């Protein structure tokens, strides 16, 4: 299937990179061709660098394996996970674009209830280009959507909203469950299409899944570090959770918005719950202390950029989470290295505050 | 249409009252007959007591007009609004049941996307009998629903949830817009059926609409005071908003949950936007100070019942909101009178803490 000649220029085609942690499934890009082909892809190979990833004809892409990561980052490469999809954040680092969409290779095009194929990327872009409303809940969900608005009682002073930094999409078919839930409910499938996008309120944490995720790289990219997982690390499957907790507290601090809901992708296969349990069990346990930690994080006013926020957060992680396990001391160190790498590869130094001022995200005109 | 003989006993039939502020539309109860007839109705006539409200055959109801309110409450009747649907809270006061469902007489039975009539009451009961999750956001919405669960990364210690005190339902057709939005978008209709129920996180306020609302009367009833509106008052259409702000901060303080989303009702007609503007304009202005006030309310630990919380809140209203307008001093006084009336008519003294202990709300077994 090729892109029809009549296609109009897709939105943000020069301002967005698609980051894919690896591609094991040859059918993956074919399925997405109509939607992804106009965009630039960054593929970060998560395992053995001697293996070859085949990319079908017609895609514009760059591919990085472990050797490339080591070559580009030198000693700072220690911050990038090996043999784990957490390596995707290397793609966030080397991108030069304003926005990122990241997706896993077992996620395919879903259909809406009318049978129409869902252009997940277009929906993420829509979410990112319309404001968020983190300070007050709107009961008719995203007020900037066609056919919706702010309901009676919504303060008028809050109706401009704030810039959206993160768009978190969902999954039909295989839900994103932890290993214990997978084991208990092996047959559960998500068939409920909830036709909504909503802002996760300020002060509320959420479990951010990296399978189907869009974000404003300039505003929140430095907080999208997927931690240390995989080969040689004591936990796995907490890479996106870690990024989500960090990114949410930093969004709250910087006055940025986080949306969740549409778009859905079709998540084709459940990962092995026994393998997952081994990866997760420490995380499940540690998380009981990590969540209260993040719920209580207060960042100093002087932290006006995501980089400054992230370095400050790394200090708090070292101080408050190291008592749980030495892993967190190591992680805190790599958080700082990640920011060093970010600043090295992004020397213009994105200043969230200045970006916010420069960028006018107008509420939908009605 | 009469209830089929084969109908099984509906849930909570002896534990729930339906409160209707007034009934102008004779068709209203006929439309709801299949769903409402098994329940007891409390009708609170909001206007001229000499006018007669006709209730169709077969309903079990009690009807109160202004004369009844004055007779029953004596001087305390001052706390009940006159010529305004805010008078519905008198029905909450005189009910002896554990749960309340309240609905407006211009709300009819809606249909879901499959064309099935929606039993709004049954959905509210389901919402109220399953826990809420105010401390962490679940991206697949209500985890206690069939076919859903907590997603990966949701802390296990929070999966029991908390008792649900409020179930806020939505509206198809005419959305609940303020007068300015009604004026700007006179033709907007809500046709989006969002198949979701979700918990409004702790610390987040929302605009609670009284059109289609269920709540746990024993746990939060004393906070469901609809304020002073209508005849002789400077504002209208903020009755349910006021109750919602008060109830939400008290739910947050007492560790109770608030859900919003399903069920939908069919809201048949928009009220006059010019009349609404006159009622609302002071509220729209005052609200800009009221919202920050409620966002910053901290109740003392000793407030362990909704009554104690509400009296404490009345003191804060008097202290912090009276500078806006003398109306708030009056309102604060009536808030105390309302609690006096509540305690007089409910002498057993509902203790939220003890109720919570007595009541085992088990998460759905899966």
Q: How many CB atoms lie within 10 A of CB A340?
A: 15
pLDDT of A75 strictly over 90: yes
- Looking at residue A6, its pLDDT comes to 52
- Kind of pairing, strands A257-267 and A60-64? unpaired
The pLDDT confidence band at residue B6, using thresholds 50, 70 and 90, is: low
- Looking at residue A349, its pLDDT comes to 59
Tens digit of pLDDT for each residue in A183-194?
999 999 999 999
The pLDDT confidence band at residue B363, using thresholds 50, 70 and 90, is: very low
- Looking at residue B359, its pLDDT comes to 43
pLDDT of B347 strictly over 60: yes
Tens digit of pLDDT for each residue in B120-130?
999 999 999 99
Give every CB contact of residue A349 below 8 A, 6+ residues apart in sequence: A305, A307, A343
Beta bridge partners of A117: A111
Q: For the purposes of burial, counting CB atoms within 10 Å of the CB of B294, is it exposed (0-12), middle (13-18) or buried (19 or more)?
A: buried
User: Which residue out of A138, A144, A153, A182 would a mutagenesis test of the B interface target, given it has the greatest number of B Cβ atoms within 10 Å?
Assistant: A153
The pLDDT confidence band at residue A103, using thresholds 50, 70 and 90, is: very high
- Looking at residue B361, its pLDDT comes to 41
Tens digit of pLDDT for each residue in B88-111?
999 999 999 999 999 999 999 999
pTM of the predicted structure, to 2 decimals: 0.94
Is the peptide bond preceding residue B304 cis, with omega within 30 degrees of 0? Answer: no
pLDDT of B18 strictly over 50: yes
Give every CB contact of residue A47 below 8 A, 6+ residues apart in sequence: A22, A83
Q: What is the mean pLDDT of residues A269-280?
A: 93
The C-alpha atoms of residue A328 and residue A244 are separated, in whole angstroms, by: 16
**Strand locations in chain A (E):** 16-20, 40-44, 60-64, 99-103, 107-108, 164-173, 197-199, 212-216, 257-267
Interchain pair B147, A191: CB under 8 A: yes
Could you report the predicted ipTM of this complex, rounded to two decimals?
0.93
- Looking at residue B47, its pLDDT comes to 85
Q: Quickly name the fold that domain A16-346 has.
A: Spore Coat Polysaccharide Biosynthesis Protein SpsA; Chain A (3.90.550)
Mean confidence (pLDDT) of chain B: 93
Q: Which of B176, B201, B205 is nearest to B291 (CA)?
A: B205
Contacts of A204 in chain B (CB under 8 A): 136-137, 201-204
Interchain pair A291, B136: CB under 8 A: yes
The pLDDT confidence band at residue A251, using thresholds 50, 70 and 90, is: very high
Q: How close A123 comes to chain B (CA, Å)? A: 17
CA-based torsion, B236, B237, B243, B244: positive or negative: negative
Percent of chain B whose pLDDT exceeds 70: 93
User: Which residue out of B85, B152, B188 would a mutagenesis test of the A interface target, given it has the greatest number of A Cβ atoms within 10 Å?
Assistant: B152
Region label for B48, one of left (φ > 0), alpha (ψ between -120 and 50) or beta (otherwise): beta
Q: For helices A306-321 and A239-254, what crossing angle results, to 10°?
A: 120
pLDDT of B323 strictly over 90: yes
- Looking at residue A363, its pLDDT comes to 39
Interchain pair B188, A137: CB under 8 A: no
In degrees and rounded to multiples of 5, residue A119 shows phi and psi of -85, 90
The pLDDT confidence band at residue B225, using thresholds 50, 70 and 90, is: very high
Interchain pair A201, B204: CB under 8 A: yes
Give every CB contact of residue A206 below 8 A, 6+ residues apart in sequence: A168, A200, A244, A248, A258, A260, B136, B137, B138, B139
Q: Which of A336, A319, A337 is nearest to A328 (CA)?
A: A319
Interchain pair A137, B287: CB under 8 A: no
Q: What is the mean pLDDT of residues A56-67?
A: 97
Q: How many CB atoms lie within 10 A of CB A84?
A: 24
The pLDDT confidence band at residue B360, using thresholds 50, 70 and 90, is: very low
- Looking at residue B8, its pLDDT comes to 78
| DSSP-based three-state secondary structure for A213 | strand
Contacts of B288 in chain A (CB under 8 A): 155-157
- Kind of pairing, strands A99-103 and A212-216? antiparallel
Tens digit of pLDDT for each residue in A315-361?
999 999 999 999 999 999 999 999 999 999 999 755 444 444 334 34
Contacts of B204 in chain A (CB under 8 A): 136-137, 201-204
- Measure Cα distances from B357 to A116, B322, B352, B360 in Å: 49, 37, 9, 7
pLDDT of B64 strictly over 80: yes
The C-alpha atoms of residue A211 and residue A287 are separated, in whole angstroms, by: 20
Tens digit of pLDDT for each residue in A123-137?
999 999 999 999 999
The pLDDT confidence band at residue A300, using thresholds 50, 70 and 90, is: very high
pLDDT of B25 strictly over 90: no
The C-alpha atoms of residue A300 and residue A315 are separated, in whole angstroms, by: 12
A354 compared with A296, residue with greater pLDDT: A296
CA-based torsion, A41, A42, A46, A52: positive or negative: positive
- Looking at residue B9, its pLDDT comes to 87
Contacts of B209 in chain A (CB under 8 A): 139, 151-153
Q: What is the mean pLDDT of residues B75-99?
A: 97
The C-alpha atoms of residue B53 and residue B46 are separated, in whole angstroms, by: 11
- Measure Cα distances from B255 to A293, B163, B252 in Å: 20, 8, 5
The pLDDT confidence band at residue B7, using thresholds 50, 70 and 90, is: low
Shortest CA distance from B276: residue in chain A:
A152
Contacts of A194 in chain B (CB under 8 A): 141, 194-196
Q: What is the mean pLDDT of residues A136-164?
A: 98
Contacts of B201 in chain A (CB under 8 A): 200-201, 203-204
Q: For helices B326-345 and B306-321, what crossing angle results, to 10°?
A: 170
Shortest CA distance from A241: residue in chain B:
B153
Contacts of B104 in chain A (CB under 8 A): none
pLDDT of B346 strictly over 90: yes
Interchain pair B194, A149: CB under 8 A: no
The pLDDT confidence band at residue A366, using thresholds 50, 70 and 90, is: very low
């Amino acid at each position: 299937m090729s892109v029809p000649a009549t296609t109009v220029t897709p939105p943000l085609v020069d301002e967005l990179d698609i980051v894919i942690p690896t591609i094991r499934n040859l059918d993956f890009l074919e399925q997405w061709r109509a939607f992804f082909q106009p965009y630039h892809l960054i593929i970060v190979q998560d395992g053995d660098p001697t293996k070859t990833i085949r990319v079908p004809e017609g895609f514009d892409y760059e591919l990085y394996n472990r050797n490339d990561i080591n070559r580009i980052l030198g000693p700072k490469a220690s911050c990038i996970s090996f043999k784990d999809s957490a390596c995707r954040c290397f793609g966030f680092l080397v991108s030069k674009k304003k926005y990122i969409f990241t997706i896993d290779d077992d996620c395919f095009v879903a259909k809406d209830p009318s049978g129409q194929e869902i252009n997940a990327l277009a929906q993420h872009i829509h979410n990112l280009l319309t404001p968020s409303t983190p300070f007050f809940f709107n009961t008719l969900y995203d007020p900037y959507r066609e056919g919706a608005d702010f309901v009676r009682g919504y303060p008028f002073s809050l109706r401009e909203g704030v810039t959206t930094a993160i768009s978190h999409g969902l999954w039909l078919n295989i839900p994103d469950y932890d290993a214990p839930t997978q084991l208990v409910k092996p047959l559960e499938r998500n068939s409920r299409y909830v036709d909504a996008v909503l802002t996760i309120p300020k002060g509320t944490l959420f479990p951010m899944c990296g399978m189907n995720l869009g974000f404003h790289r300039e505003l929140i990219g430095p907080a999208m570090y997927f931690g240390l997982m995989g080969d040689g690390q004591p936990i796995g499957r907490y890479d996106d959770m870690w990024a989500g907790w960090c990114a949410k507290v930093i969004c709250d601090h910087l006055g940025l918005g986080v949306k969740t809901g549409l778009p859905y992708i079709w998540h084709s296969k459940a990962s092995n719950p026994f393998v997952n349990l081994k990866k997760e069990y420490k995380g499940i346990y540690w998380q009981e202390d990590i969540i209260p930690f993040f719920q209580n994080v207060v960042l100093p006013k002087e932290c006006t950029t995501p980089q400054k926020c992230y370095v400050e957060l790394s200090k708090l992680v070292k101080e408050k989470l190291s008592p749980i396990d030495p892993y967190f001391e190591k992680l805190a160190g790599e958080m700082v290295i990640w920011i060093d790498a970010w600043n090295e590869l992004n020397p213009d130094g994105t200043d969230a505050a200045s970006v916010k001022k420069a960028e006018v995200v107008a509420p939908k005109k009605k």
